Amino acid sequence: MQNKACVRAHTNIALIKYWGKRDETYFLPMNSSLSLTLDKLYTDTMVSFEEDLAGDVFYLNDELQGEKETQKISAFLDLFRKEKKTTAFARVESHNHVPTAAGLASSASAFAALAGAANRALQLHLDPQTLSTFARRGSGSATRSIYGGFVEWDMGTTSDDSFAIEVDDASWDIGMVIVAVNKKAKEVSSREGMKRTVETSPFYPAWTQAAKKDIVSIKEAIAKKDFIRLGEITEANGMKMHGTMLGAEPPFSYWEPDSIRAINIVKQLRKEGIPCYVTMDAGPNVKVLCRLSQAETIKTALLSCFSADKLIITGPGAGIRELTAT
Q: Cα separation of 174 and 193, whole Å?
A: 30
* Least distance in angstroms from the C-beta of 176 to ligand DP6: 14
Rounded to whole angstroms, what are the CA distances from 68 to 65, 71, 72, 102? 8, 5, 7, 22
* Least distance in angstroms from the C-beta of 216 to ligand DP6: 17
C-alpha 122: how far from chain center: 25
| CB closer to ligand DP6 out of 27 and 49 | 27
| CB closer to ligand DP6 out of 6 and 36 | 36
SS3 19: coil
* Least distance in angstroms from the C-beta of 276 to ligand DP6: 20
* Least distance in angstroms from the C-beta of 57 to ligand DP6: 23
Q: Which residue is nearest to ligand DP6 (CB)?
A: 140
Single-letter code of the amino acid located at 161: D
Q: DSSP letter at 65?
A: -
| CB closer to ligand DP6 out of 181 and 301 | 181
Single-letter code of the amino acid located at 203: F
| CB closer to ligand DP6 out of 177 and 194 | 194
* Least distance in angstroms from the C-beta of 66 to ligand DP6: 20
User: CA dihedral in degrees (142, 146, 151, 153; nearest 10)?
Assistant: -50
Give the burial string for 128-146 (b: 16+ CB within 10 Å, else e).
bbebbbbbbbbbbbbbbbb
| CB closer to ligand DP6 out of 110 and 126 | 110
**Which residues contact ligand DP6 (rule: CB under 6 A)?**
14, 17-19, 27, 33, 107, 139-141, 190-191, 281-282
